[in-house]
């Protein structure tokens, strides 16, 4: 006898069961006099915050102000997993976070961290998204429906069978968001969710968050430096400064305080550049040939991972003293191209030809690359040891080389700290400082904005501009349109492993002057 076929499960029915109403008298999130210390270093200082059910809260602040610590507390990873001292009260959906296990909290709070690689554990995308529901012991048909919902909501159905290790940073970010959404949490916390996302993915994320809040009543907390995508979605904004709440109110009021934004080093969120900006070079137009020999040239380069081809016959020449922007959607091949130039990935076909004068210098001085995930290139026991490693190896003057870099990166006061004890933004600046200390002829910056407030980023980019004026070649890879248009002189656009446009920006000066 053939068994009965299970009735189909629909996500609306599941969410209707999951999202129990919360009384107005009991906020969904409640923090009272919250203090957090790492060793003797305070990270949060007396935070009082209540978030009603269904609210969209936007949290911002400079690097190191406590945003990521707040996310770790809301997830229960502090104090249950990470070593930190906590005082005060933390309640979410009626649960005492400080007394509730992380697995139990995960059924009510979904968190997506700045570095998606830190929370992805499975081989394939579909397995990762199904991991949480399966661990709840849910029926197979409900798990399948949750996976389908999460894949469609984030726009990654086409990645369902892909191996996670071969995804781009932006694609991994979307997988992490989908995995959190598959748990159907009452509270969704997103820490720098746009750090690796292209314009299309950000638009999908906006629509998904709007639906989760309006249709299903999910409480959403976004911690971000790129504020513009969330201005219309959020009903309330909080600014953190040195572990304290510096402002709390309507977004228009909070971000309308120009003096406060300047003090905190934050951008005016009202200024943004659309994804189809007409300053881009037209498709098919190649930069004019130059008479001098390129610093590095790629000729018909094909490259990829395992059997998958990512670069499909790339021709690209970079010249000494250029400041070039490399843009394109998630998965276009930008990071793979950068890895080939840096010597971290060998081409399958084609050639990478360096200028004859650079062939005898060490590879680290020929090309230095800042990876999307800074933890992959931090090895030393202190910031100072990390940044002085290359000068010591190449017999460069240490103090003369390192001190200006530490000052430009805002790391001078952190020189004795362990790199992995820093915030993500501070780790990013440490990794970049270590790359810069080798004085590479070609500097590759792959998404340098993660965890960075505009003040720190602007000071760091001003230092990089000084290197550029001294003759260094810069290749900047980013989805942050304002950063790219503000600094680069030439733009290269990639799609599906090919270069589709290459040329000078049409009129960059107004954008370079804008703040």
Rama region for 216: left / alpha / beta (φ>0; ψ in -120 to 50; rest): alpha
Q: pLDDT: is 362 or 178 the higher one?
A: 178
- Find the Cα–Cα–Cα–Cα dihedral 342, 347, 349, 352, rounded to 10°: 10
Copy the structure tokens of residue 122.
């499975």
User: Average pLDDT of 270-288?
Assistant: 47
Tell me which DSSP letter residue 319 carries: -
Q: pLDDT: is 513 or 182 the higher one?
A: 182
- pLDDT at res. 480: 77
- Evaluate the omega torsion of the peptide bond into residue 79 and state whether it is cis, within 30 degrees of 0: yes
> E-assigned strands of 341-395?
349-354, 367-370
- pLDDT at res. 289: 52
- pLDDT at res. 382: 95
Q: pLDDT: is 77 or 8 the higher one?
A: 77
Task: Describe the chain by its helix, strand, coil percentages, rounded to 5.
Answer: 40, 25, 40
- pLDDT at res. 2: 38
Cα–Cα nearest to 194, from 444, 422, 452? 452
Q: Please check the confidence at residue 511 and state whether its pLDDT lies above 80.
A: no
Name the least confident of 46-60, 160-174, 315-329. Answer: 160-174
Cα–Cα nearest to 110, from 139, 155, 62, 153? 153
- pLDDT at res. 272: 53
Cα–Cα nearest to 466, from 395, 408, 402? 408
Domain boundaries, the chain: 52-76+101-264, 296-513
When pLDDT is cut at 50, 70 and 90, the band that residue 444 belongs to is very high
Q: pLDDT: is 319 or 289 the higher one?
A: 319
When pLDDT is cut at 50, 70 and 90, the band that residue 227 belongs to is confident
Choose which CATH entry (3.40.50.300, 3.30.70.1050, 3.40.640.10, 3.60.120.10) describes domain 296-513: 3.40.50.300
Asked if residues 482 and 270 have their Cβ atoms less than 8 Å apart, the reply is no
Asked if 52-76+101-264 and 296-513 have one fold, the answer is yes
Asked if residues 489 and 465 have their Cβ atoms less than 8 Å apart, the reply is no
- pLDDT at res. 134: 93
Copy the structure tokens of residue 437.
């200390």
Average per-residue pLDDT for the chain: 85
Q: Please check the confidence at residue 239 and state whether its pLDDT lies above 90.
A: yes
Cα–Cα nearest to 441, from 292, 296, 287? 296
- pLDDT at res. 119: 86
User: Average pLDDT of 382-389?
Assistant: 95
Q: What percent of the chain has a predicted confidence (pLDDT) above 70?
A: 89
Q: pLDDT: is 475 or 273 the higher one?
A: 475
| pLDDT tens digits along 404-428 | 999 888 899 999 999 988 877 788 8
Q: Please check the confidence at residue 133 and state whether its pLDDT lies above 90.
A: yes
Q: Residue 35 is inside which H or E element, if any? A: strand 29-38
Name the least confident of 20-29, 220-229, 423-432, 449-458. Answer: 20-29
Asked if residues 281 and 263 have their Cβ atoms less than 8 Å apart, the reply is no
Copy the structure tokens of residue 270.
């009202």
Q: Please check the confidence at residue 20 and state whether its pLDDT lies above 60.
A: no
Choose which CATH entry (3.30.450.40, 3.50.50.60, 2.60.120.10, 3.40.50.300) describes domain 52-76+101-264: 3.40.50.300
- pLDDT at res. 486: 81
pTM of the entire predicted model: 0.70
Q: Please check the confidence at residue 215 and state whether its pLDDT lies above 50.
A: yes
Q: Please check the confidence at residue 89 and state whether its pLDDT lies above 90.
A: yes
Distances (CA, A) of 215 to 208, 221, 419: 10, 17, 42
- Find the Cα–Cα–Cα–Cα dihedral 77, 80, 85, 86, rounded to 10°: 80
When pLDDT is cut at 50, 70 and 90, the band that residue 211 belongs to is confident
Number of Cα atoms under 13 Å in the Cβ half of residue 503 = 15
Q: Residue 345 is inside which H or E element, if any? A: none
When pLDDT is cut at 50, 70 and 90, the band that residue 478 belongs to is confident
When pLDDT is cut at 50, 70 and 90, the band that residue 13 belongs to is low
Q: What percent of the chain has a predicted confidence (pLDDT) above 90?
A: 45
Cα–Cα nearest to 117, from 454, 435, 447? 447
Cα–Cα nearest to 60, from 444, 358, 451? 451
Q: Please check the confidence at residue 141 and state whether its pLDDT lies above 90.
A: yes
The strand pairing partners of 497, in sequence order, are none
């Amino acid at each position: 006898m053939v068994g009965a076929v299970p009735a189909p499960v629909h996500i609306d029915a599941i969410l209707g069961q999951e999202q129990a109403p919360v009384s107005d008298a009991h906020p969904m999130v409640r923090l009272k006099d919250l203090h957090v210390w790492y060793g003797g270093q305070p990270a949060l200082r007396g935070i009082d915050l209540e978030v009603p059910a269904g609210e969209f809260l936007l949290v911002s602040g400079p690097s190191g102000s406590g945003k990521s610590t707040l996310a770790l507390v809301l997830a229960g990873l502090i104090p249950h997993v990470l070593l930190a001292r906590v005082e005060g009260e933390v309640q979410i959906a009626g649960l005492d976070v400080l007394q509730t296990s992380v697995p139990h909290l995960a059924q009510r709070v979904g968190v997506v961290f700045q570095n998606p690689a830190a929370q992805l554990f499975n081989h394939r995308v579909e397995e990762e998204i199904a991991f949480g529901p399966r661990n709840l012991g849910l029926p197979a048909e409900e798990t399948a429906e949750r996976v389908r919902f999460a894949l469609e909501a984030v726009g990654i159905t086409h990645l369902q069978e892909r191996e996670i290790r071969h995804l781009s940073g932006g694609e991994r970010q979307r997988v992490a968001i989908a995995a959190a959404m598959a748990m159907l949490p009452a509270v969704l916390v997103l820490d720098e969710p746009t750090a690796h996302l292209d314009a299309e993915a950000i638009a999908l994320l906006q629509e998904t968050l709007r639906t989760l809040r309006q249709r299903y009543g999910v409480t959403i907390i976004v911690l971000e430096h790129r504020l513009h995508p969330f201005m219309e979605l959020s009903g309330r904004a909080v600014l953190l400064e040195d572990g304290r709440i510096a402002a709390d109110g309507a977004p228009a009021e909070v971000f309308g305080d120009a003096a406060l934004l300047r003090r905190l080093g934050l951008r005016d969120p009202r200024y943004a550049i659309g994804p189809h900006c007409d300053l881009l070079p037209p498709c098919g137009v190649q930069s004019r040939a130059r008479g001098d020999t390129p610093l590095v040239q790629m000729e018909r380069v094909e490259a990829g991972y395992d059997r998958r081809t990512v670069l499909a016959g790339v021709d690209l020449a970079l010249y000494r003293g250029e400041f070039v922007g490399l843009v394109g959607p998630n998965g276009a091949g930008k990071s793979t191209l950068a890895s080939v130039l840096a010597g971290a990935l060998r081409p399958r076909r084609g050639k990478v030809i360096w200028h004859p004068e650079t062939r005898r210098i060490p590879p680290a001085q020929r090309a230095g690359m800042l990876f999307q995930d800074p933890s992959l290139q931090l090895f030393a026991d202190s910031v100072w040891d990390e940044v002085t490693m290359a000068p010591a190896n190449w017999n460069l003057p240490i103090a003369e080389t390192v001190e200006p870099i530490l000052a430009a990166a805002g790391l001078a006061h952190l020189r004795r700290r362990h790199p992995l004890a820093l915030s993500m933004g501070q780790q990013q600046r440490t990794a970049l400082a270590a790359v810069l200390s080798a004085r590479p002829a070609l500097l590759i910056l792959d998404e340098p904005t993660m965890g960075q407030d505009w003040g720190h980023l602007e000071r760091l980019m001003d230092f990089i501009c000084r290197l550029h004026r001294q003759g260094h070649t810069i290749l900047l890879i980013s989805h942050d349109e304002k950063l790219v248009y503000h600094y680069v002189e030439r733009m290269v656009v990639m799609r599906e492993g090919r270069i589709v446009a290459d040329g000078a920006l049409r009129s960059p000066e107004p954008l370079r002057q804008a703040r």
